[in-house]
Amino acid sequence: MSNKKTLSFQTEVKQLLHLMIHSLYSNKEIFLRELVSNASDAIDKLRFEQIKNPQMSHDQELFIEISFNKEAKTITISDNGIGMNYDEVVENIGTIAKSGTKKFLEQLSGDEKKDANLIGQFGVGFYSAFIVAKEVELHTRKSGADKATGVLWTSDGSGEYSIETVNKENCGTSITLHLKDDNDDLLSDWQLRSLIRKYSDHINYPIKMQKMPEHDKDGKEIISNELETVNKANALWVRNKNEIKDDEYKEFYKHIAHDFTDPLTWIHARVEGTQEYTQLLYIPSQAPFDLYDNNKRYGIKLYIKRVFIMDDAEKLLPNYLRFVRGVIDSQDLPLNVSREILQSSKDIDAIRSGSTKKILSLIEDMAKKEPANFSKFYQAFGNVLKEGIIEDFANKDRIAALLRFASTHNDSTEVNVSLDDYIGRMVAQQDKIYYITAESYNAAKNSPHLEIFKQKNIEVLLLTDRIDEWVVSHLNQYEKKDLVSVASASLDLSKIDTNFAKDKQEKDEQAKPVLEKIKTALADKVKDVHVTSRLVNSPSCLVVENNGMSIHMEQLLKQAGQAIPSSKPTLEINPDHALIRRLNASVDADETKDLALIIFDQAALAEGLKIDDPSAFVTRMNKLIS
């Protein structure tokens, strides 16, 4: 009795398959790289199991075999790795476990070029087989399991697959592709060998093919059944740097990172000292779609003495460098190391801090020598790097030096001003770094808080990313210069402009009547009212006390659903402004109240805040205009 079942792919898989087949056809040969990459992963896993369980047999050579049949138009990729049981086939091949897949698919535009790029972010994987195959047969048996528990999975990639339990002679996985028409070019010894060398030379394990037929003296083919190894079959990171071509580094990256695009840059080094290890670390050229997914484990592949130990060993790098991909191969760690041990190991701490420094140097080099690459990097990962200011106290200054901001110096949204650039342009007597945080570039740039800075030609950094508030709250100083918000109540430009602070109290004293009037009218909204020194054109603005939470930060926390004690801001007014003068002259209590509310709401709006009662604001404004 046949136990064959026909099941349907997950909707996401269907979409992905369709997309892949159509957008990657011009790159069709990558299917081989992906399937070999999976075979290599499977052997890695088996080897690791063997180390954990010494009673498992070791005597078999682990390798990948590639063969083809010209008549049947098939290519077969086999491995004697870990294999899969029935449930694992359903789980790994019929569904996409990656969270965020839906969101990813929603971004797709239907534009093939663009989508091919996006798919790179996602990783292509097993389904790339369907770029060239009209039918795929996957035949697998879990290592250590009974011969009768083999599984045969077949699909034409259009939406369904069939699966049945069958006998399988050996453990491991064998994938046979029945090629679509027009793929005969792949059915050649020469072509397959060249693809293996191009894409998979770096694979740790032998990739074998049948020896090419030789010819006897009469020109007759002598076909031998002997296998020969086609790739170098040597861990790439163990080889001498000078002997490794850039393309080899790149292909290796694609294998370990499950990324389809080239990396931006990499570092390959052997570290000797208390800890001996080799690191081959890459910076990708684009962010994966799940970079901010908290559940996603990110990290480095850990090897110990060339034996694969685990993927995504997240403790090998701090969280803010989670975009880095690569391999660390330790000489000293015990082979039975577990995630738990990694959590609190001095050896791991040493490797982490060494690798962190290496990556920071790599980024610094890029900033200095390859500005175009650096700017690409910063676009993709700048906001993640910023987390380092909060997370990595020891390297805070180095990270701060790598940050880039938009600035009033540029008059554009470009994010390319470093703190050092800023310091280089400070005006005479300036000893602080000024910034503003806001919801958007325009809100920052046009904020009334900048009026005095424009007038005095003082540069202000425009911080508009959500994380910037946290960054500046952890970065009080850079190069011994305080970072100061232009919206802080204690803003003091007296060193730069001797008029600035002069008579602060005197100014308040002179404007006392109008200040009192406003204070009374806004008693439940503001903490205090003062005459401003920072406004030139606007009537009013809101400021916060030193160490008080910035208005923008308060907003962010509220949006995030956090309960925060409501604090009242301080209002600053510009007594020379027509609106303030009018209020001062007003003798009607209702009119005074209306004007005060307009002044307050305007200040709130300029801050990017939602005002309490927008329609009342509109009514008041209309009254004022008519």
Q: Using CB distances below 5 to 8 A depending on partner kind, what does residue 42 bind out of Mg ion, ligand ADP, none?
A: ligand ADP
Interaction residues for ligand ADP, span 220-259 (CB under 6 A): 258
Q: Which residue is nearest to Mg ion (CB)?
A: 125
Report how far apart, in Å, the C-alpha atoms of 454 and of each of 88, 446, 537, 623 are. 64, 11, 11, 33
Check residue 125 for interaction with ligand ADP (CB under 6 A).
yes
Q: Using CB distances below 5 to 8 A depending on partner kind, what does residue 82 bind out of ligand ADP, Mg ion, none?
A: ligand ADP
The residue among 90 and 426 lying less far from Mg ion, judged by its C-beta, is 90
The residue among 83 and 354 lying less far from ligand ADP, judged by its C-beta, is 83
Check residue 288 for interaction with ligand ADP (CB under 6 A).
no
Transcribe 221-262 into DSSP letters. Answer: EE----EEE-S--S-GGGS-GGG--HHHHHHHHHHHHT-SSP
Transcribe 320-342 into DSSP letters. Answer: GGTT-EEEEEESSS-TT--HHHH
CB 38 to Mg ion: min, Å? 4
What is the 8-class DSSP label of residue 209?
Answer: E
Which tokens hold the place of 248? 């080899």
Task: State the number of binding residues for Mg ion (CB under 5 A).
Answer: 3
Exposed, middle or buried, 219 (CB in 10 Å: 0-12/13-18/19+)?
Answer: exposed
CB 94 to ligand ADP: min, Å? 10
CB 233 to Mg ion: min, Å? 19
142 and 83 in contact (C-beta within 8 Å)? yes
The residue among 38 and 447 lying less far from Mg ion, judged by its C-beta, is 38
Check residue 39 for interaction with ligand ADP (CB under 6 A).
yes
CA distance 268 to 249: 10
Q: Is 623 helix (H, G, I), strand (E, B) or coil?
A: helix
The residue among 282 and 405 lying less far from ligand ADP, judged by its C-beta, is 282
Please identify which residue in the block is written with the tokens 């011969």. Answer: 147
Interface residue with ligand ADP among 100, 123, 548, 608 (CB under 6 A) is 123
Interface residue with ligand ADP among 15, 121, 173, 408 (CB under 6 A) is 173
CB 43 to ligand ADP: min, Å? 8
Which tokens hold the place of 131? 């770029």
Please identify which residue in the block is written with the tokens 């391999």. Answer: 327
Choices 72-80, 124-132, 467-475, 565-573 (CB under 5 A): range interacting with Mg ion: 124-132
Q: Measured on CA atoms in the order 355, 357, 358, 362, is the torsion positive or negative? A: positive
Check residue 38 for interaction with ligand ADP (CB under 6 A).
yes
The residue among 125 and 382 lying less far from Mg ion, judged by its C-beta, is 125
Interaction residues for Mg ion, span 9-48 (CB under 5 A): 37-38
Interaction residues for Mg ion, span 575-604 (CB under 5 A): none
The residue among 251 and 594 lying less far from Mg ion, judged by its C-beta, is 251
522-533-508 Cα angle (round to 5): 55
Per-residue x/- track, 68-87, ligand ADP (CB under 6 A): -----------x-xxxx---
CA distance 529 to 539: 13
The residue among 38 and 533 lying less far from ligand ADP, judged by its C-beta, is 38
Check residue 131 for interaction with ligand ADP (CB under 6 A).
no
264 and 246 in contact (C-beta within 8 Å)? no
Q: Which residue is nearest to ligand ADP (CB)?
A: 125
Interface residue with ligand ADP among 74, 92, 410, 473 (CB under 6 A) is 92
CA distance 332 to 143: 29
What is the distance between the terminal CA atoms of the chain, rounded to a whole angstrom? 89
The residue among 34 and 459 lying less far from ligand ADP, judged by its C-beta, is 34
Task: Give the Cβ contact number of residue 249 at 10 Å.
Answer: 20
Q: Measured on CA atoms in the order 495, 499, 505, 508, is the torsion positive or negative? A: negative
CB 264 to ligand ADP: min, Å? 20
Q: Using CB distances below 5 to 8 A depending on partner kind, what does residue 470 bind out of ligand ADP, Mg ion, none?
A: none
CA distance 170 to 173: 9
Interface residue with Mg ion among 81, 83, 120, 125 (CB under 5 A) is 125
The residue among 263 and 318 lying less far from Mg ion, judged by its C-beta, is 263
103: nearest Cα among 121, 90, 116: 121
Q: Using CB distances below 5 to 8 A depending on partner kind, what does residue 85 bind out of Mg ion, ligand ADP, none?
A: none
Please give the residue ranges that form the binding site for ligand ADP (CB under 6 A): 34, 38-39, 42, 79, 81-84, 92-93, 123, 125-126, 173, 258
Please give the residue ranges that form the binding site for Mg ion (CB under 5 A): 37-38, 125
